[in-house]
Amino acid sequence: MTNQAEQDRINHVYRQWHGGAGLVRYAWHRSEILVQEADRARALAALLPVTVGADLSHVRALDVGCGHGSFLRQLIDWGATPSQLAGTELQPDRLEHARLHTAPGVRWHLGTLDAFLDGSMDLVSAHTVFSSILDDDLRRELAGEMWRVLRPGGWAMIFDFRYSNPRNKQVRKVTDVELLRFWPAEKRHYRTLVLAPPLGRAMARLPRLAPELLAALLPPLRSHFFYMAQK
């Protein structure tokens, strides 16, 4: 990666955010968070069998910006082999958390994708990573690195925001134009999900069916997407 100033900004934002009061609204036991995680799991369960296949035991996967390692643990729960998986992260404390709470064998890497060989992965994913990058050149560069590491026939997976957050100038939505420009492919899948978090929090005390029904009936209220493209 060449834009060191942008990387430094991202690191600074995450260091300020990590451990702060803002994390309370993302606590794992909150009802709206449980609904969001269920939405993601259902979308993944629909997308993975028609892309990399239902048998994950031989899938070589790299999660870029892996955070605490939750996506890789999900793959392991669904049958992936830990030694076939890898995660990269820029924050050492997050990477150490992932290492401590994930099955042994996963390859963890602090830094960028330079350490990974061309065409070495079947699946390369990035979850709410690109929305944290404000610089267009760095977005393009990271997308190119993900495409480089992916083997022909493999799949890139992006999970991110459909809309910008007017209250948080440190993130920016990922547009449809960017998806098609960064990961051009004849075979691709696009799926929207997750009721916009402010609505989800407002409806948290209502029966669980209420926010799910609202998100199902009004697609524009879904704040996130999955995009998968085959190289």
Res 34: pLDDT: 74
Q: What is the percentage of the chain residues whose pLDDT exceeds 90? A: 68
Residues 6 or more apart whose CB falls under 8 angstroms from that of 182 comprise 139, 140, 143, 144, 147
Least confident range from 80-89, 136-145, 192-201: namely: 192-201
Q: What is the mean pLDDT of residues 99-114?
A: 96
User: In terms of Cα–Cα distance, which of 217, 181, 215 is closest to 200?
Assistant: 215
- Higher pLDDT pick, 75 / 3: 75
Q: Is the pLDDT of residue 23 over 80?
A: no
Res 169: pLDDT: 83
Q: What is the percentage of the chain residues whose pLDDT exceeds 70? A: 88
Q: Is the pLDDT of residue 125 over 70?
A: yes
Q: Is the pLDDT of residue 9 over 80?
A: no
Res 18: pLDDT: 60
Amino acid letter, residue 1:
M
Q: Is the pLDDT of residue 208 over 60?
A: yes
CATH number at residue 172: 3.40.50.150
Q: Name the domain count of the chain.
A: 1
pTM over 0.85: yes
Highest-scoring range by mean pLDDT, 93-97, 195-199, 210-214:
93-97
Q: What is the chain's mean pLDDT, rounded? A: 89
Q: At what angle do helices 209-217 and 31-47 cross, to 10 degrees?
A: 50
What is the residue range of 41's domain?
Answer: 4-230
What pLDDT band is residue 223 in, cutting at 50, 70 and 90?
very high
Measured in whole angstroms, the distance separating CA 186 from the mean position of its chain's CA atoms is 22
User: In terms of Cα–Cα distance, which of 66, 23, 50, 41 is closest to 193?
Assistant: 41
Q: What is the mean pLDDT of residues 83-92?
A: 96
- Higher pLDDT pick, 207 / 142: 142
DSSP 3-state of 191: strand
